[in-house]
């Protein structure tokens, strides 16, 4: 699923739960036999890999427990937002079982100055607020009825846009399930929402090599 740079050095990789055994074997092939200290792997050449539980998985203290828990079906809420686009869905295991995608025009920034710039800024702010309100309405209709069955809410896109949607007090039960990681996704579309299911289920692994 690709990799991304990690703060403080190293890199993050996302591995589908079903591929974890093969990934572990490849890690040993590249770096030598490893010892496991909980979810931390230390290889013969000094390379380290720390496995992190994906959203909705709790209580896994060993690699074996994490693999079993990550593979188990669980229901996840999804909220992707960027500017005026929002995609909301419910995933049951690997399947997207409910979804809604919507767009709302939000004007881009202008280089104009003075009164004109202020007028455009107010208009953009009002459009952004309207988009957030519409997004909150979609989340309310799609995720609130499913909140008791959801293991976690996974968000992606622009943090400001996501925060604005979840600021609606009526969505407090949904916001309480929000996972810490924000998925990096392009402008939300149905295809992006489908791909986000795999991203949400994946096991994040932090790798630091000597």
Percent share of the chain, pLDDT over 90: 79
Q: Mean pLDDT highest for which of 12-21, 81-90, 131-140? A: 12-21
pLDDT at position 111 over 70? no
Percent of the chain with pLDDT over 70: 86
Mean pLDDT over residues 55-68, rounded?
A: 96
Averaged pLDDT for residues 28-33? 97
Average of per-residue pLDDT values in the chain:
90
Tell me, what's the pLDDT at 126? 54
Q: What is the pLDDT of residues 154-169, one digit of tens each?
A: 999 999 999 999 999 9
Mean pLDDT of 93-101: 96
Which pLDDT tens digit goes with each residue over 180-196?
999 999 999 999 999 99
52-63 average pLDDT score: 96
Task: Quickly tell me which residue has 């909150």 as its tokens.
Answer: 136
Query: Do the Cβ atoms of 84 and 105 come closer than 8 Å?
Result: yes
Nearest to 13 by CA among 206, 208, 179, 209: 206
152, 177 Cβ separation under 8 angstroms: yes
The predicted structure's pLDDT at residue 3:
87
Question: Is residue 115 predicted with pLDDT exceeding 50?
Answer: no
Instruction: Give the residue, 144 or 115, on which the prediction is more confident.
Output: 144
Q: How would you classify residue 108: left for phi > 0, otherwise alpha for psi between -120 and 50, otherwise beta?
A: beta
Tell me the per-residue pLDDT of 67-92, one tens digit each, with 9 for 90 and over. 999 999 999 999 999 987 899 999 99
Domains of the chain, each with CATH number or no CATH:
3-72+203-208 (no CATH), 75-201 (3.30.420.60)
Cα torsion 56, 62, 68, 70: sign: positive
């Amino acid at each position: 699923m690709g990799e991304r740079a990690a703060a403080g050095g190293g890199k993050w990789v996302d591995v589908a739960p079903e591929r974890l055994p093969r990934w572990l074997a490849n890690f040993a092939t590249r770096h030598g036999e490893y010892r496991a200290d909980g979810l931390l792997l230390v290889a013969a050449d000094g390379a380290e890999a720390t496995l992190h539980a994906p959203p909705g998985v709790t209580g896994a203290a060993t690699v074996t427990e994490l693999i079993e828990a990550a593979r188990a079906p669980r229901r996840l809420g999804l909220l992707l937002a960027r500017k005026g686009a929002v995609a909301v869905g419910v995933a049951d295991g690997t399947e997207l079982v409910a979804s809604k995608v919507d767009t709302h025009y939000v004007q881009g920034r202008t280089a104009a100055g003075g009164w004109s710039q202020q007028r455009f800024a107010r208009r953009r702010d009002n459009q952004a607020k309207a988009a957030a309100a519409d997004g909150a309405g979609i989340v309310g209709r799609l995720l609130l009825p499913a909140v008791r069955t959801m293991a976690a809410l996974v968000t992606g896109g622009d943090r400001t846009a996501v925060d604005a949607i979840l600021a609606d007090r009526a969505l407090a039960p949904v916001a309480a399930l929000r996972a810490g990681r924000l998925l990096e996704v392009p402008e939300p579309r149905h295809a992006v929402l489908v791909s986000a299911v795999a991203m949400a289920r994946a096991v994040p692994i932090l790798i630091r090599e000597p």
